[in-house]
Amino acid sequence: MRRILVTSALPYANGPIHIGHLVEYLQTDIWVRFQKLMGNECRYFCADDTHGTAIMISAKRAGVTEEQFIERVSAEHQQDFAGFDIQFDNYGSTHSDENRALCEEIWAAIAREDLLVEQEVEQPYDSVEETFLADRLIIGTCPNCGAPQQYGDHCEKCLSNYQPTELIDGRSSLSGTTPELRAAPHKFVQLEKLRPFLEEWVDNGQALQEEIANYLKGHFLYAKDKEGNIKPLRDWDVTRPHKYFGFEIPGFEKNYWYVWFDAPIGYMASTKQWCDKHGEDFDRWWRSDQCEVHHFIGKDITYFHTLFWPGMLKTAGFSLPTKVHIHGFLTVNGEKMSKSRGTFVAASTYLKHLDPAYLRYFYASKLSSKVDDIDLSIEEFIAKVNTDLVGKVVNLASRSAKFVASTGLSSKYPDDGGLLAAGAAAGKEIAEAYEACDYSKAMRLIMALADRANPFVEENKPWELRKDESQAERLQDVCTVALNLFRQLAIYLAPVLPKLAEQAGELLNDPIVSWDQAQEPLVGTAVNKFKHMLQRVEEAKVNAMIEESKPEETTDETAEGTFVDKWNDPGDSLEAEPLAEECTFDEFLKVDLRVARVVSAEQVPEARKLLKLKLSLGGGTYKQVFAGIKAAYDPEKLVGRLVVCVANLAPRTMKFGVSEGMVVASGPGGEEVFVLSPDEGAKVGQRVH
């Protein structure tokens, strides 16, 4: 029996859980339930992430203390998770005595290893609120286009980036006062001193998905400067000055651990709370080679969990992660979740309208062991749930259980042509798919079994057999087979659909508690009255959910401009992916961006990613460009479209011809590539500034 400790990233206590968050918690819950069904000693720990400037500000706006604010949000989070049948062995808070003690222990270890260095950091400061300001807490007029009410780092109208000091009439969004620059001491962890360990940990090929290991090597561990030398890892700023909601650092008064320092330690603190409640030894879980540690996180926080966190654990003598399972983002109908379109759906709103089993199954049908994003197509969502769960799985029970309510199952399992045996044999491959987090494969394998089971019912027509008393024994046998095949599916689906598994156990008087139950038929037991298990998804209910998720009309232009999250905490100079080498303004001016019109577009049959474009830059100037957008665009629909072209790129000879420029686009790749299109009023050949 394996001993396994599992965590999900801690939800930030500054807002509600939404369907995007649920990708991770459902992915984790499914894996944990599978491990428990396999008989492993598996515990799932989580907590609310409660510190930072954002919490301090939100609590003040709500007119409550920070402690009152995070307590209220924690209750809401736990209610939402429970509504989706997500079961934690312990759900804690980073604002706990256990977390403070562990932070102090790890901090002392880092100091003993001489990893800390102190540096002065200059930041904008709000003298009224007495706090340092993140860039997005400063608003003013864009220095580039003159648009009012823009953030301190980025203009949403002209898309230019700048420093907060460049804003015209910049002011704090908290108090309205003009920020002043102030310097304060910060302590940094010197990650470069941990390089040998981090290189070995990333290279071992066990803890990280291949694409994540390659990302860390290319962008951090082996990133090179202009001279070709490997760049040192950047020091990690791990403290914040007063005012800040968090734990004050012993020996560094009026300074606090940064939220990203104490948040992952919250995994350990939650474990400690559970251990204290159950008389367990904490070291058995966090200082033992016999315990596996599995983290489930989103790709946006890869940097923190795969470099900083293992470095902290190694330094303090705790167990390293056995595996960091990293997933992609959620899109809805192929686009980012949107409040205006009603696709930014809160968990509580979903639960008002739809069964959580629908979303659990749909996500499982999409999630793989890769870091790919998943898309929730509303049309596919409705069709998949209705076809697979209602039409294939529940249908087996609903069309047979009522015919044996008085007789129960046959005392001996009838001949089913090998269906149950085939299902039992498939259990190993299904289990391997669950173990690898390849849930989409597991669902395909399970539905393949359902596709073989349903024809048996169709061919034997129990609803016809019941009309002939002489066929009573055959009717019982047919229904015994159908209900056993249903039970087998329910066992395999139990990690995804725990309520359905519970209902199956109640129907057949045999609770589902072990994966091995799928290996043997159930015979001679009573069958209880069938109760509806899953209703079909009604499109009207989905539409009602979307309508409720749309924001109310508002005339407050700054309503969204005042939202704060922990990613923009004051002094936060770290990003999931660092910026490229900086270039001078003169160097940037060498890039000649021009508005161009697509004159022709065609497939390059022998190329996997490329389309061949002919671009007009006006005045009889044309450029041939090979663009890697094949998966995202139909060539015919590109013709006539305005694009932005890098017009002075040196020609490049390729296997398929010469490419004389580049089309500007963004996105992670594949089908999610978005070509930049100027407004139709732009003139062909016009330079883009």
8 Å CB contact between 447 and 439: no
d(CA 241, CA 187): 10
Q: For residue 646, what are the CA distances in angstroms to 262, 292, 579, 596, 657?
A: 45, 50, 20, 10, 18
- Please give the torsion angle defined by the CA atoms of residues 554, 556, 558 and 563, in that order, rounded to the nearest 10 degrees: -50
d(CA 568, CA 353): 34
CA nearest to 47, candidates 264, 216, 367: 264
d(CA 62, CA 471): 70
Binding residues: 142, 145, 155, 158, 339
d(CA 659, CA 379): 39
Binding residues for ATP: 339
Residue 674: strand pairing partners: 666
Residues in Cβ contact with 273 at an 8 Å cutoff, skipping those fewer than 6 apart: 90, 92, 96, 98
Identify the DSSP state of 587. Answer: H
Number of Cβ atoms within 10 Å of the Cβ of 330: 22
- The SS3 of residue 543 is helix
8 Å CB contact between 405 and 466: no
d(CA 309, CA 207): 13
Binding residues for Zn(2+): 142, 145, 155, 158
- Please give the torsion angle defined by the CA atoms of residues 194, 197, 201 and 203, in that order, rounded to the nearest 10 degrees: 100
Rg (CA), the chain: 29
d(CA 330, CA 381): 13
d(CA 612, CA 659): 9
8 Å CB contact between 88 and 502: no
